[in-house]
Amino acid sequence: MASIAFEGVSKVFDDGTRAVDELDLQIPDGEFTILVGPSGSGKSTALRMLAGLEETTSGEISIGSRVVTDVAPKDRDIAMVFQSYALYPHMSVAENMGFALKLQKVPKDDVRARVASAASRLGIGELLERRPKALSGGQRQRVALGRAIVRSPEAFLMDEPLSNLDAKLRVEMRAYIARLHQELGTTTLYVTHDQTEAMTMGDRVAVMRDGRLEQVDTPQALYERPANVFVAGFIGSPAMNLLRGVASEAGVMLGTQRLAVRTPHRGEVIVGIRPEALEPAGEDGPDVLSLRVVLSEMLGSDVLLHLEAPTSSVLTGDMLDTPDEELVDDTTRFVARVPPSFRADPGVHVHLRVDLDRVHLFDPETERVIPR
Amino acid sequence: MSARLVNRGLDALTWLVLALMLSPILWLVLSSLQTDGQLSRGAYDLLSPTFDAFTRMWQSVDFERYLLNSLIICTAAALCATAFAACAGYALARFQFRGGKALSLGVVGTQLIPGSLFLLPVFMGFVWLKQNTPIALFDTHLGMVLVYTAFFTPVAIYFMRYFFIAIPRDLEEAAMVDGCNRFGAFVKIVLPAAAPGLVATFVYAFLFAWDELLFVAALTQENAETIPIGIRNFIGNYQERTAQLMAAGVVSTLPVLIAFFATQRWLVKGITAGAVKG
């Protein structure tokens, strides 16, 4: 096991695309770090540079005390799980799992024992003689994991390993991988575009956008204290409501409605309110928003109310998969998570009290958080 | 007319076309089991076949030599073409290098030129080498292997390039992380995964070389003559050995049929299924 460090690492492709821009990221020994971001954010490229499958344009990558920037993949002592599983089609499960050990010239009996032990840990002991094509998606996933853990490498690299599984299996494997990490304690860098995976699995989450690192912190801290509009909008499901408002001495105005948020900032702001920071209020009053219901979604444990926003709301371009546009206005987007007992039909106005301690303010120019 | 009837009609048509296409082979086999006399009179006696022609064909013409020459030359040429094509096809499929696209295009472009145009230059080259150097290519196995290898390599490269493109890059990257260098990943992972492509390319080159007559007629005299020449030798000015000719036809078709049936599993379906999510 070892720590991992990216120091000022950049990747510029031949066509001039800057996929990763001055990445600085330290992963302590034994930590499970998630690299999350929308497609094209450079997270996979960063992982591939760590694996040695992509050359580094500038900067330095270390595994443990060893600088590996120019070291061949085979000499980095890492194991990688691919999105496509990348199982060798002409080899049995046992041969797939033992391939790396065989290359290391580990004695045959040892290989067999280590493969059997990893296979029983993963619950694939009875599949060892099968070929990959005779396995289900979930089984292939486990074999790919087995191929990684059988080597006891310095670090695990995982490139969206769950994205080819169906929803149910994905939830199951998510917990499984997290538990596996707890048992093995191997340093892991896990790439995903799914913020739910990021929030549930990692010790720390690094959010990337356009090749740059936006914020690194624990899942809880990212959720509670996003550093900018992008992280605020990306982390959390449903996403944080981001509205255009105006800050003054009296507080923040959202259209005609006022929230008594204290801030030294004056002028236009972006106001971030999580769907969970709203609760039904009996009647209009201070810090209560009166909003018209567009749609009510019953989830069993909660109800998601889709409401007409009091002022134009902001979506970051990445949230809409239109990376060219930075911020897009949409007047109707506002979501509240309320208890299932709260019923509201479309068209009616509801009163929702805002928890002011959980309101985030962002500078519309820099998109960075405004300290309160 | 019901759809079922139409389907039946189409089925019958398919069988009819198949029967028409296979009828020359049937005729070949049946004729090889008759005597020359029966064949010249057209009086086939299907109920009392004779293997006489199959035994005599080896004596009247040295067919064993032709068969052996064919096997040596075609196998060697197909092996060489496949090996070269595997390396070149992999490079063209995976690496970006200056002139790579032009090279790919050039490989396809060679197929636009009629092969017979090369006959005279190759012939003259062989003769020149024989007269001026100790390199013996005219009427040698090596000469024919070189010619056929040169002929089939471009199209084999074209084949292999597509087979390699279809193999996910993740496979060799996984191998490289597992401890292979690039060449190791190519040999241990990519080539086995491309086995159906290798087999198809080999069989293709082998079958073409097996049938080739023009070049072998011009570039060989005695030592390196192959089956197409041998078959021709059954017909002489003063002899009629039609039954033996037919028997030689059957014998020379056998390796081709064996090659096809032995490899058809590989030719038809790939083994890459299941390597990545499918």
Confidence at residue A332, expressed as pLDDT on a 0 to 100 scale: 58
Interface contact B174-A132, CB threshold 8 A: no
A50/A62 Cα distance (integer angstroms): 8
Q: Which has the closest alpha carbon to B252: B215, B274, B227? A: B227
pLDDT of B38 above 80: yes
Average of pLDDT values for B130-142?
A: 91
Rg, C-alpha atoms of chain B: 23
Residues of chain A with pLDDT under 70: 315-332
Q: Which residue has the higher pLDDT, A227 or B136?
A: A227
3-state secondary structure of B272: coil
- Please report the residues numbered 143 through 182 in chain B whose beta carbons come closer than 8 angstroms to any beta carbon of chain A: 168, 170-171, 173-181
B275 vs A87, A99, A164: nearest CB: A87
Confidence at residue B273, expressed as pLDDT on a 0 to 100 scale: 40
Chain B residues touching A52 at Cβ < 8 A: 176-177
Give yes or no for B272 touching A (CB within 8 A). yes
Confidence at residue B241, expressed as pLDDT on a 0 to 100 scale: 84
Residue A55 contacts by C-beta under 8 Å, 6 or more apart in sequence?
A11, A49
> How close, in Å, is residue B203 to chain A by CA atoms?
21
Chain B: residue whose CA lies nearest to A93: B275
Chain B residues touching A88 at Cβ < 8 A: 171, 174-175, 189, 192-193, 275
CA B266 distance to own-chain centroid = 16
Q: Which has the closest alpha carbon to B39: B275, B269, B245? A: B245
Chain A residues touching B277 at Cβ < 8 A: 84-85, 137, 140, 164
Between the alpha carbon of residue A260 and those of residues A247, A254, A267, the distances in Å are 10, 11, 15
Quickly list DSSP for chain B: --HHHHHHHHHHHHHHHHHHHHHHHHHHHHHHTS-HHHHHHT---TTS---HHHHHHHHHS-HHHHHHHHHHHHHHHHHHHHHHHHHHHHHHHH---TTHHHHHHHHHHGGGS-GGGGHHHHHHHHHHHHHHSS---TTSHHHHHHHHHHHHHHHHHHHHHHHHHTS-HHHHHHHHHHT--HHHHIIIIIHHHTHHHHHHHHHHHHHHHHH--HHHHHH-SSTT--HHHHHHTTB-SS-B-HHHHHHHHHHHHHHHHHHHHHHHHHHHS-S-TTSS--
- Per-residue pLDDT band for B74 (boundaries 50, 70, 90) equals very high
Tally A–B CB contacts below 8 A: 95
B188/B193 Cα distance (integer angstroms): 9
Q: Which has the closest alpha carbon to B189: B278, B265, B275? A: B275
Q: Which has the closest alpha carbon to A88: A109, A103, A72, A73? A: A103
Chain A residues touching B170 at Cβ < 8 A: 82-84, 86
- Mutation target to probe the A interface, by most A beta carbons within 10 A, among B176, B177, B191, B266 is B177
3-state secondary structure of A6: strand
Q: Which has the closest alpha carbon to A163: A132, A134, A141? A: A141
A100 vs B173, B178, B189: nearest CB: B178
B60/B238 Cα distance (integer angstroms): 13
A85 vs B181, B184, B277: nearest CB: B277
Confidence at residue A344, expressed as pLDDT on a 0 to 100 scale: 86
A171/A196 Cα distance (integer angstroms): 10
A27/A197 Cα distance (integer angstroms): 18
A227/A224 Cα distance (integer angstroms): 10
B176 vs A53, A84, A151: nearest CB: A53
DSSP state of A314: E
Q: Which residue has the higher pLDDT, B268 or A64?
A: A64
Chain B residues touching A104 at Cβ < 8 A: 179
B178 vs A103, A132, A135: nearest CB: A103
> How close, in Å, is residue A73 to chain B by CA atoms?
5
Maximum Cα interatomic distance, chain A, rounded to a whole number of Å? 76
Confidence at residue A285, expressed as pLDDT on a 0 to 100 scale: 75
Confidence at residue B204, expressed as pLDDT on a 0 to 100 scale: 85
H or E stretch at B126: helix B119-132
Q: Which has the closest alpha carbon to A222: A1, A33, A23? A: A33
Task: State what percent of residues in chain B have pLDDT above 90.
Answer: 50
Confidence at residue B14, expressed as pLDDT on a 0 to 100 scale: 96
- Mutation target to probe the B interface, by most B beta carbons within 10 A, among A80, A83, A90 is A90
A210/A214 Cα distance (integer angstroms): 9
A80/A44 Cα distance (integer angstroms): 12
Confidence at residue A331, expressed as pLDDT on a 0 to 100 scale: 57
As a dihedral over the C-alpha atoms of residue B33, residue B39, residue B41, residue B47, rounded to 10 degrees, the angle is: 20
> How close, in Å, is residue B236 to chain A by CA atoms?
53
Six-digit token pair at B101?
Answer: 């696209």
A239/A233 Cα distance (integer angstroms): 5
pLDDT of B268 above 70: no
Confidence at residue B278, expressed as pLDDT on a 0 to 100 scale: 38
Give yes or no for B192 touching A (CB within 8 A). yes
Interface contact A80-B174, CB threshold 8 A: yes
Q: Which residue has the higher pLDDT, A131 or B271?
A: A131
Segment among A147-151, A277-281, B40-44, B83-87 with least mean pLDDT: B40-44
- Mutation target to probe the B interface, by most B beta carbons within 10 A, among A49, A53, A54, A127 is A53
Contacts of residues A218-226 at CB distance under 8 Å and 24 or more positions apart, as own/partner, are: A223/A199, A224/A358, A225/A369, A226/A272, A226/A360, A226/A369
- Please report the residues numbered 194 through 253 in chain B whose beta carbons come closer than 8 angstroms to any beta carbon of chain A: 195
A99 vs B178, B181, B273: nearest CB: B178
Interface contact A90-B192, CB threshold 8 A: yes
Q: Which residue has the higher pLDDT, B159 or A128?
A: A128
pLDDT of B272 above 80: no
Chain B residues touching A140 at Cβ < 8 A: 274, 277
